[in-house]
Amino acid sequence: MDEVIDYLTNIPAWFFATCEGDQPRVRPFSFAAEDGGKLWFCTATNKDVYVQLEANPKFEASGWHPGQPWIVVTGEADLEDTVSEATRIAGYEHMTGLGETYEGPNDPRLTFFSVKNGIAKIADIDGSERIIEL
């Protein structure tokens, strides 16, 4: 888990894919945290990504840091927001730092979701890969 968090938090953004019907949808994400042994992301309940995850919780996220292998995280979003207050504050500060506006870390629009049935694949151009169960 630490390796996955380190990777995701040391690149400016990675790409998070969902489906809307039969159409893939991809957007940049940049907040990841470990809390209670789970990988957590955050978004807003009024964003398309949240609505798409409600309809189909399966997702993939992928990122790459030049000179390193790339990462692909595959799993299902658990939309039950039970993240700790410390992670909620960190996510709030991160998102407002990007220019999003919320009425504080407990704004009902700001929501956190964890990864269930997740794996992270770290793959290199030479064909090698490692799987990390989340």
Q: Is the pTM of this model over 0.85?
A: yes
**Confidence label for 126 from pLDDT (cuts 50, 70 and 90):** very high
- Residue pair 25/47 in contact (Cβ under 8 Å)? The answer is no
For residues 99-126, give the mean pLDDT: 98
Residue linked to tokens 């990504």: 49
Pair of tokens at residue 106: 């407990």
The closest of 99, 58, 75, 70 to 7, measured between CA atoms, is: 70
10 Å CB burial of residue 55 (0-12, 13-18, 19+) is exposed
Name the CATH superfamily housing domain 2-133: Electron Transport, Fmn-binding Protein; Chain A (2.30.110.10)
Task: State pLDDT tens for residues 49-96.
Answer: 999 999 999 999 999 999 999 999 999 999 999 999 999 999 999 999
Alpha helices, H only, the chain: 2-9, 48-55, 85-97
